[in-house]
Structure 1
């Protein structure tokens, strides 16, 4: 018999489940967070829960907010369980469960005026976001797109905004008019230079209707960059059943994640911040070295194993890592071609980080899928793979393995696995990609004609040759034999 998660049922939970050591009802709001999804509840909320468990900074409770339909669903579910969440950390050796409670309220997504009023409250000193990369209105080049219909609508009617950035601007304006210092805006999304991206979105929207306000935002509001990391799969009925069966908890939206977590933040919080350094957050002057390490080794590693695994009909990421060819491919690629173009990171052994990433990928309890890793390659390849290619080309170094990564992606975009199983569209640009991949079967350069993706590499003789050779080998011998040839140095 499972116990419904609520503040008054914590004492009835099994002793194996950790519960907050603080009085949840005594927390005061200090943060408004947009995008209360699984990653936020497995990352930022867990760090704050740890800090509150130390008996510190109880005036930094979280108020949830959002503007989308699924935000309303999350609000309804969390409100029914007093804003508590079950967080299950999973490793091959076992799982542990804890109840976290740093959230004190969740504002109605259908009432932007109420959200703006909360943003104007002087007690709110940080506004944080996990709205996914798609929520930042970026164009194909990764720049803020002022022509998006949502942005155009908010610019035309700034007193009744509907986007996150319009609402944030309205909150900032209210504080400015009241003589209240601005809150810090802290992006927690997995985007390079995420603080700068958020600044460009907020100031970019402001510039469309109030250039003076836009200048004030750039001068007066802090947007620290941060690097976040924790593998957090989606919640399904499988996870709900596991929480009920294994921990006797009835939680309508539990969070499952790995035990590993990392958060590196630039220490730029003029209005104050919680003492998160006491619970493992690393505060730095410049997050760039950590950010580049993660993007190239972890994200690049995910992109590398995704497409050959898909072509071999492998479903789960941990199953891919159990395949000796995939594991050896990842090791050789990251060690030989990626790590050499990753600048040193303070107090970090890059090869140890590489090994840790591989260990995390191999975690059998996470249930991460190859299909998820394959998603949105047209966005991920230019961020996670091609910058390493450019660095190596500029230094005259080999790019055999990195070219193979993109060749596997091209072969995947053809739309069938090596066994002939159809591949479902898995990219916003799928039609364009598939058309190019079909032409590339006979002319590999046809795929490289997408210059907005491949950039300068598309015109570099060495890259064209390496990509063409890799793609031809994949088509002739299949993914399995191509991996073998690469590992043996015969590609």
Structure 2
């Protein structure tokens, strides 16, 4: 990590807050009066750009929820933020970049070097919430349960008093509280993982049962693991951001973060020892996290994939560029508003059309360079959950599916084009897909059945003659998969509305 800001500039810290330019937002509370009530495992950019910002909004009214941010595998965040008293800048990327200094993090620890401090904080009765952003691999899962062969799990079970992984730390903290007769903390996963709270609960219970059956029973009875859903595009920090922040702050920030202005956080209301009033900061408290996950998959992720595959065939590079292409942008909006939103089994109180409008605004944000080829990766995993579920529902209800099949057909053309150009596919089914793509002739009659034979992607929908026919028509409409053919297909779709 480098810091390109001039060394002569002072470092961002508590003393520097008063001298920041008036246009820079800063904590609206006395940081010295806040108390740590949250331990967060995985102090990466997403947490600091998302959950910590929600907490920052609340501390003026409720100072008991400041954050101890714990890095499990790298000292980078600690070493960057400790000299800054935990402060850092958040850049909100829109037509103009807005800066805000976040003060919610009061302590930053690196677990490998400060294990005793981390465990002491987890055992602190003032801590009532432990949150996580550790990515899916940090949960050490095998299926929906814990992978007992994972090296981190093996190591932590051998020395549970000196854990290294997230599950080990959670259980070690709960074990200390159980021994001392203290109330447990709630454990809230904030990772993009379906049923994240359920998976985390199962992993924690399985781990705990290996070391202490009575502890596992207590966790099962007393500890809450709410589910959640999070959303906000958070590009990685780079030197350009550091230079921009230094110029606007007049001081150096070793590790600022950036994200789009939009953020969403949906949380299951299942807390046992109090909770912050997250809804005051804009979070949604709901008992239907699965419904929000479904809405995100179908109204955000499906259009994302649509832009990726059709946009790639058109020779476009980013989501914003794709949305600046009127025929493609128009098709995506019609798909969302006419074929997905009206038929979505949405959570109570959820406005699907308003959500679609917010997503379209996000897609048009020119400050976010979200590359289409990145979104196009892992299509065999994404297409079933993003598009095929909606198609299956439409078929069951007797609704037309031709527009919904066009992005699926675009994926098939994308695979064919990549394979025949000798470009490796980033996909778990790359060998099978590439073989089909290389053998494809561009004719729907032969190509589509070959792809539909991939049961891992299309079953059981592949046996529906209506779907197969609609997909063949869409595939043929895209012709050779070139830009001119895609333009004609989009124009024909618009005319048919």
Compute the TM-score of the two structures, normalised by the length of structure 1.
0.88
Deviation at 1:275, TM superposition (A): 2.0
Alpha-carbon distance in 1 for matches of 2:225, 2:415: 37
Which structure 2 segments of 5+ residues have no match?
A: 1-5
Q: CA deviation at 1:431?
A: 4.3
Counterpart for residue 46 of structure 1: 53
**Aligned CA distance change for structure 1 residues 440 and 206 (closer, same or farther; 3 Å):** farther
**For residues 393 and 209 of structure 1, do their structure 2 counterparts lie closer, same or farther at Cα, with a shift above 3 Å needed?**
farther
Summarize the alignment of residues 224-303 of structure 1 with structure 2, pairs less than 5 Å apart.
Answer: 224-303=226-305
Q: CA deviation at 1:425?
A: 4.7
In structure 2, distance between residues paired with 1:350 and 1:391: 17
Distance in 2 of aligned mates of 1:312 and 1:380: 21
Equivalent residue for 1:124, pick from 127, 132, 138: 127
Residue in structure 1 matched with residue 3 of structure 2 by the alignment: none
Distance 1:246 1:392 in 2: 51
Alignment of 1:134-213 (within 5 A): 134-138=137-141, 143-144=144-145, 146=147, 149-150=150-151, 153-154=154-155, 156-157=157-158, 159=160, 160-206=162-208, 213=215
Gaps of 5+ in 1: none
Q: What's 1:11 paired with?
A: 18
Kept in 2, the 8 Å contact 1:120–1:175? The answer is: yes
Q: What residue number does 1:81 align with?
A: 84
User: Does the 8 Å CA contact 1:307/1:409 hold for their aligned counterparts?
Assistant: yes
* C-alpha distance in 1 between matches for 2:11 and 2:84: 8
Question: 2:416 and 2:182 mapped to 1: Cα distance?
Answer: 56
Figure out how many residues of one structure are paired with residues of the other and give that number: 482
Aligned residue number for residue 426 of structure 1: 426
Give the 3-state SS of the residue equivalent to 1:110 in structure 2.
Answer: coil
Pick closer, same or farther for the CA change 1:146–1:331 going to 2, 3 Å: same
Q: Give distance in 1, aligned partners of 2:330 and 2:419.
A: 21
Q: How far is 1:123 from its partner?
A: 1.7
Q: Distance in 2 between matches of 1:162 and 1:450?
A: 40
Q: Are the equivalent residues in 1 in contact too, given 2:279–2:285 (CA < 8 A)?
A: yes
Q: SS of the residue aligned with 1:96?
A: strand
Task: State the Cα deviation string for residues 384-415 of structure 1 (Å, max 9, x = none).
Answer: 22322332233333332333323323333446
Structure 1's 460 and 416: CA in aligned 2 closer, same or farther, altered over 3 A? Answer: same
Q: Match for residue 69 of structure 2?
A: 64
TM-score, normalisation: structure 2? 0.87
CA distance, structure 2, for counterparts of residue 209 and residue 103 of structure 1: 32
Tell me, yes or no, if the aligned pair for 2:419 and 2:434 is still in contact at 8 Å: no
Provide the rounded CA distance (Å) in 2 between the counterparts of 1:397 and 1:203.
44
CA 1:219–1:5: 2 relative to 1, 3 Å: same
Q: CA deviation at 1:190?
A: 2.4
Matches of 2:219 and 2:433, distance apart in 1: 39
RMSD of aligned alpha carbons? 2.9
Report the alpha carbon displacement of residue 358 of structure 1 after superposing the two structures with TM.
0.6
Q: 2:282 & 2:123 partners in 1: Cα distance?
A: 30
- The whole-number CA distance in structure 2 between the counterparts of 1:242 and 1:484 is 43
C-alpha distance in 2 between matches for 1:176 and 1:144:
23
Is the contact made by 1:390 and 1:456 (CA closer than 8 Å) also made in structure 2? no
